[in-house]
Amino acid sequence: MTGILIGLVIGLPWLGALVLWRVSDERPRLQHALAVAFSSAAGFASLALIPFASAETAVRIDVGRYFGELTFVADGLAVSLTAIACVIGALAVIFSMDYMRAEAQLSRYYAFILLFIGAMAGLVLSGNLLFMFFFWEITALCSYALISFYNDDPKAVAGGVKALLITQVGGIGLLAGALTAYSALGSYQVSDLLAKAETLPSNFLALTAFGFLIAAAAKSAQFPFHTWLPDAMEAPTPVSALIHAATMVNAGVYLLARFYPAFAQVPGWTLAVTLVGLVSALIAAFMALAATDLKRALAYSTVSQLGYMVYAIGVGGVLASQFHLLSHAVFKALLFLAAGAVIHASGTRDMRRMGALGKQMPFVRNVFVFGALALMGIPILNGFWSKEMILEAGLSHGPIWALVGMVMVAGMTAFYTLRMTWLVFFGEARESRHAHEAGRAMKVSLGLLGLGAWTTWLLIEPFSALLQHTLPFHGISSLNLSELSHEIFAAPLTYAALIVIALGLGIFWMVRKQAAGRRESWMDVLSRESFGFEWLNRRVASWTVGLGSVLQRTQTGVLSWNAVGILGALLIVLVFLVWSVK
Amino acid sequence: MNLSPLDIVLLGTVLLLAVGFYGLLITRNLIKLVLVLQILVKAAVMALALAGKSSGNLGLGQSLAATVIVADTVVAVVALALAVQVRKHAGTLDVTKLSSLRG
Amino acid sequence: MENIAYLLLGLAAAFCAYRAMISKHLLPSALYLACVSASVSISLYLLGAYEVAVIELSVGAGLVTVMLVYTLSVVGEDTYDPASVIPKPLALLVVGVIAVLAAWMAYPVVSRPVASGEVLLADVLWKQRALDVWVQVALIFSGVMGVLGLLSERTIKIKEEQILQMAETEKPIAIQMEEEMRV
């Protein structure tokens, strides 16, 4: 039964992608209907999979001598991420019914979204390292195709190429790690790596560990690979909500969480993970303070919250990090979709040109406020519980200076979130715009996600029990609601964090009149250059192009020089053969 | 230095091969290039027969050599037809002027 | 005695090949190639490979020479024979090293001949290497198709005529449209 459900969860979206590829663009209603049907079916299948989660391998297909076995394991980590991907995917597709109503080439759009959903499910369910890499690359392809969806806009294409290049560099880390593990273990199976990690020679294990860390940092837009996510906001907003907030960027966090027991023993690894999370959270929150583009601000916020999750893994709180992943997926998707409704209605992404839209769009304003409260970590929305769990884990196992940084980030988060909400929905209307309320399909998605922001924290007990029983190597202990409340409300850290959040809110309230100013300050310059990393990107790009033009001189097009090349290669082969025979 | 007959044949084959490779690098005329390829083919045929003789299995050596001759003759025919068309369309058979595949 | 024969034949083959390569006119090159083919064929005969010797002589000295001469008649002779693009020392170096290495590799194997068990060519060709024969048939077929496609002038001419006809019929229409626009 588990195997069938796994097949449905990966196969239904892929079948949908194939079908939608063939549907003509002359029939948009059919396209919308088919996309919603396939993604909803996948969503239901993923929810049906949850009761069947276990630590055993559900599907095992032999693929020959060199690749080992293609296995799928439906354990707690996999099943929860699959459910997030499929359910939020379905909601994003439903939202797209209204958002993409007048767009062209919908079959390309929906086909890639469905392909992505299936690939994401395959990525987290995979029990074979090589196939995990395979699904990883498919998600990178879909991300590129969807960011550059408006392919006659050069900014969109540039954003897509940048995302692709940076995440591919990470992919090399994943492949190198997988191959290193294979050469030491003789097997690509994840369960083998987790069980026998101590038996690996220490430099092999370190290479694998840091290779995976690079892959995770690149995929989750963490420092030093954080520059691609803000530029990826050229994608249509449902894509930003699904891929760049709720699913693909979580793949990096998933990777770290899955392999934490194997790599925690590598000296310096947990410290590196903590640092990556901390620095990402700090610089992204800083860049969000001055952002003027609504989606870019949300992108910085995503990087910052992912920094929280990575930090949590670094200090050993895998349960806290996964719980925050769940909360964040819900409230960030909510925020992005609501932002999409605002952008669709008002025609601009620049927050300085919005204002007082709450009067014209009450429903969107309300759900956006819910999402904002969750992001800030206000009790009792889901963000509060998971963020406090992370801070608790940081206090008990991690370095104090890192914890201080994370609490500061909580304050900055409160500031920029309130700033975003205020600039868009409250205050005075800076430009008179006529914004219509969101359409019916949009309201369905937004409403369901808004409900989730208030309630997903109630799932802590089944969630932690699921992880405890299906992850034999992680040592997670289950937690029920009363234990959780006791832990959070009895800890002084919680109150300290709440005070810092209130401080952030208060500071914004005092400066709210200057929030919509148009002069560019040093903060804007620093954000735009991503703390110097954009310069680094430009250097690498120009160096590569220069190398290409130098090497271009070998392509003379003249047959005689090609013949020299052929004979030169023959020479090298002969030298090698003669030398090796000796 | 006592060289067996087969050694002499080896030296002759390698010499022919060397002349062929040198021609491959030096020639600028497409038709002469086809001719040079034919020289290389003859060297290959000699080598195959030599290998067959020295390993005792002349039948296998000869059958492979026959296959090589057939294949390379077909290649030469098609290459000459191509050269005729190149002459008609580009006006020249000089390899250095036919560099439209420049990178 | 055998040694001298092989030596002379080898030197003759190399010499003729060299002359074929550096000759300024293509017709003498084709004839020198025929001489190379003859020398190689006699060597093969002396080695004991009788069937291949015959094939080599007929194909190399007959077929290839005829084809080269025919192509020369179609294409015409380019009397300008320019110097090579690759610097000669580089070419000599590369070729020399390859030759030395190849000889070095092959020498130990060749000079210890094994006594031959009498295997007939016919047996090998039709039974063990039957696949080779099919491959050769496919090759010849595709070669014929290739040459027919490349050298058929008729279809090109017919297409040219069609294009000219279409241009003729569209000319009055184009002139009409111009007049209408001017009005």
Query: How is B29-45 classified by DSSP, letter by letter?
Result: BHHHHHHHHHHHHHHHH
Given a contact cutoff of 8 angstroms between Cβ atoms, the answer to whether A234 and A144 are in contact is: no
Rounded distance between C-alpha atoms, residue A424 and residue A129, angstroms:
44
Nearest to B102 among A557, A560, A567 (CB): A557
Q: How confident is the model at residue A534, as a pLDDT?
A: 85
Cα atoms in the 13 Å half-sphere on the side-chain side of A164 = 15
Q: How far, in Å, CA of A331 to CA of A345, rounded?
A: 21
Nearest chain C residue (CA) to B87: C75
Give, to the nearest 10 degrees, the angle between helix B30-55 and helix C26-47: 10
**Which positions ≥6 away from C13 have C-beta within 8 Å?**
B12, B15, B16, B42, C36, C39, C40, C43
Which class for A269: exposed (0-12), middle (13-18), buried (19 or more C-beta within 10 A)? buried
Between chains, do B33 and A559 touch, taking CB under 8 Å as contact?
yes
Taking residues C95-115, what's their average pLDDT? 84
Predicted local confidence at residue A493, as pLDDT: 86
Q: Is B58 left (phi over 0), alpha (psi -120 to 50) or beta?
A: alpha
Residue A371 CB neighbour total at 10 angstroms: 30
Does residue C55 contact residue C70 with C-beta atoms inside 8 Å? no
Higher pLDDT among residues A341 and C112, named by residue: A341
pLDDT at A213 over 90: yes
Query: Do the chains contact at B24 and A567, CB–CB below 8 Å?
Result: yes
A189 forms beta bridges with A128
Give the Cα separation of A219 and A172 in Å (integer): 11
Distance CA C94, CA A568 (A): 7
Domain-located, residue A573? yes
- Does residue A533 sit within a domain? no
For residue C180, the model assigns a pLDDT of: 72
Tokens standing for A474?
Answer: 């992680």
pLDDT at A511: 83
Q: How confident is the model at residue A158 (pLDDT cuts 50, 70, 90)?
A: very high
Are A443 and A571 found together in one domain?
no
Alpha-carbon separation of residue A533 from A232, A290, A313, A406, A416 (angstroms): 16, 18, 25, 22, 22
Based on C-alpha coordinates, what's the Rg of chain C?
Answer: 27
Task: Judge: A571–C105 Cβ closer than 8 Å, yes or no.
Answer: no
Residue A551 contacts residue C75 (beta carbons within 8 Å): no
Same domain (yes/no): A469, A549: no
Give chain C positions within 8 Å (CB) of A571: 94, 97-98, 101
Q: Domain limits at B18? A: 5-91
Q: Residues near C6 by Cβ (< 8 Å), separated by ≥ 6?
A: B5, B8, B9, B12, C43, C46
A458, A558: one domain: no
The residues near A494 (Cβ < 8 Å, ≥ 6 apart) are: A388, A391, A392, A488
pLDDT of residue C119: 65
User: Quick one: A443 and A558 in the same domain?
Assistant: no
Q: What is the DSSP letter of C77?
A: -
Query: Which residues from chain B sit within 8 angstroms of residue C119, using beta carbons?
Result: 57-60
Give me A158's structure tokens.
């540039």
Q: Domain span at residue A547?
A: 541-581
In a domain, residue A266? The reply is yes
- CA dist B13 and B43 (Å) reads 5
Can you name the residues that pair with A126 across neighbouring β-strands?
Answer: A72
Contact residues, A window 520-559, toward C, CB-based 8 Å cutoff: 558
In a domain, A179, yes or no: yes
Residue A66: pLDDT band with limits 50, 70, 90: confident
Cβ separation B96–A558 shorter than 8 A: yes
Which residues, listed in sequence order, are joined to residue A61 by a DSSP beta bridge?
Answer: A70
A63 lies in some domain? yes
> What's phi and psi for A73, nearest 5 deg?
-120, 120
Both A210 and A350 in a single domain? yes
Q: Please, which pLDDT band fits residue C67 given cuts at 50, 70 and 90?
A: very high
CB A130 within 8 A of CB A68: yes
Residue C54 forms beta bridges with which residues?
A: none
A292 and A340 both lie in a single domain = yes
CA–CA separation, A67 and A61 (whole Å): 11
Find the distance separating the first CA and the last CA of chain C, reported in whole Å. Answer: 98
Nearest chain A CA: its distance from C97 CA (Å): 7
Chain C interface mutation, best of B21, B27, B30, B54, highest count of C Cβ atoms under 10 Å: B54
The whole-chain average pLDDT of chain A stands at 89
Q: From CA A202, how far away is CA A210, in angstroms rounded?
A: 12
> Can you give the pLDDT at residue C81?
67
Specify whether A572 is located in the same domain as A502.
no
Closest-CA residue to C84 (of B26, A564, B36, B20): B26
Domain shared by A69 and A131, yes or no: yes
Query: Where does the pLDDT of residue C117 fall: very low under 50, low under 70, confident under 90, or very high at 90 and above?
Result: low
Judged against a pLDDT cut of 60, whether residue A211 lies above it is answered with yes
CB nearest to C98's CB, from A558, A570, A581: A570
Interval B66-102: pLDDT, tens: 999 999 999 999 999 999 998 888 888 888 888 877 7
Q: Which of C85, C95, C104 sits opposite A560 (nearest CB)?
A: C85
Number of domains into which chain A is organized: 2
What's the rounded Cα separation, in Å, for the pair A289 and C153? 73
Q: Compute φ and ψ for A227, nearest 5 degrees.
A: -80, -15
Query: Residue B25 has what pLDDT?
Result: 92
Q: Is the pLDDT of residue C1 over 90?
A: no
| Euclidean distance between CA atoms B68 and A420, whole angstroms | 75
Please check whether residue C121 touches B, CB under 8 A: yes
Specify the pLDDT at position C80: 64
- In the block, tokens 């039974």 appear at C127
Least confident range from A252-256, B36-40, C64-68, C159-163: namely: C159-163
Taking an 8 Å cut-off on Cβ atoms, the answer to whether B78 and C36 are in contact is no
Give, in order, the Cα–Cα distances in Å from A547 to each of A162, A299, A542, A550, C42.
19, 33, 9, 5, 54
> In the prediction, which pLDDT does A408 show?
92
C116 to B61, B63, C42, C53: CA distances (angstroms): 12, 16, 20, 19
**Could you read off the pLDDT of A124-144 as tens digits, one per residue?**
999 899 889 999 999 999 999
Using an 8 Å Cβ cutoff, are C128 and B60 in contact?
A: yes
Q: Does pLDDT of C79 surpass 90?
A: no
Select from A488, A506, A528 the last residue of a domain.
A528
Please tell me which of the candidates C14, C49, C92 has its beta carbon nearest to residue B15. Answer: C14
Is A557 in contact with B101 (Cβ distance < 8 A)? Answer: yes
Percent of chain A with pLDDT over 90: 49
Which of B27, B29, B30, B32 to mutate: most C Cβ within 10 Å?
B32
Comparing CA positions, the residue from A414, A333, A394, A400 lying closest to residue A367 is A333
- Name the amino acid, one letter, at B88: K
Q: What is the pLDDT of residues A388-439, one digit of tens each?
A: 999 988 888 888 899 999 999 999 999 999 999 988 888 777 776 777 888 8
Give how far A538 is from chain B: nearest CA, Å: 24
A567 touching B, CB under 8 A? Answer: yes
Which residues in chain B are closer than 8 Å to A571, comparing Cβ atoms?
none
pLDDT at A221 over 60: yes
Tell whether A553 and A420 lie within a shared domain: no
Closest CA to C43 of C29, C57, C61, C62: C57
Six-digit token string for A239: 């894509």
- Assess whether pLDDT exceeds 60 at residue C155: no
CB contact under 8 A, B35 and C72: no
pLDDT at A528 over 80: no
Q: Are A472 and A561 part of one and the same domain?
A: no
Residue B103 placed within a domain? no
Run of H or E residues at C76: none
| A101 vs B10: CA distance, rounded Å | 77
Which DSSP string do the residues of chain B spell out, in sequence order? ----HHHHHHHHHHHHHHHHHHHHHH--BHHHHHHHHHHHHHHHHHHHHHHHHHHT-HHHHHHHHHHHHHHHHHHHHHHHHHHHHHHHHHS--BGGG--TT--
Query: Does residue A457 have a pLDDT over 90?
Result: no
pLDDT digits (tens, 9 = 90+) for A300-318: 999 999 999 999 999 988 9
Q: What is the CA radius of gyration of chain A?
A: 24
Give the number of other CB atoms < 10 A from CB of residue A25: 12
Chain B: give the shortest CA distance to residue C158, in Å.
Answer: 17
Q: How many domains does chain B have?
A: 1
B contacts of A560 (beta carbons < 8 Å): 25-28, 95-96
Give A 138-157 residues with CB within 8 A of chain C. none
Query: With a CB-CB cutoff of 8 Å, which residues 536-555 of chain A face chain B?
Result: 552, 554-555
Q: Give the pLDDT confidence score for residue C156 in this predicted structure.
A: 59
pLDDT, averaged across chain B: 90
d(CA A340, CA A438): 10
A57 pLDDT more than 90: no
ipTM (interface predicted TM): 0.91
From A182's Cα to the closest Cα of chain B, the distance in A is 39
Quote the CA–CA distance of A308 and A220 in Å, as a whole number.
12
Chain centroid, CA A489 distance in Å: 30
CATH assignment of the domain containing B25: 1.10.287.3510
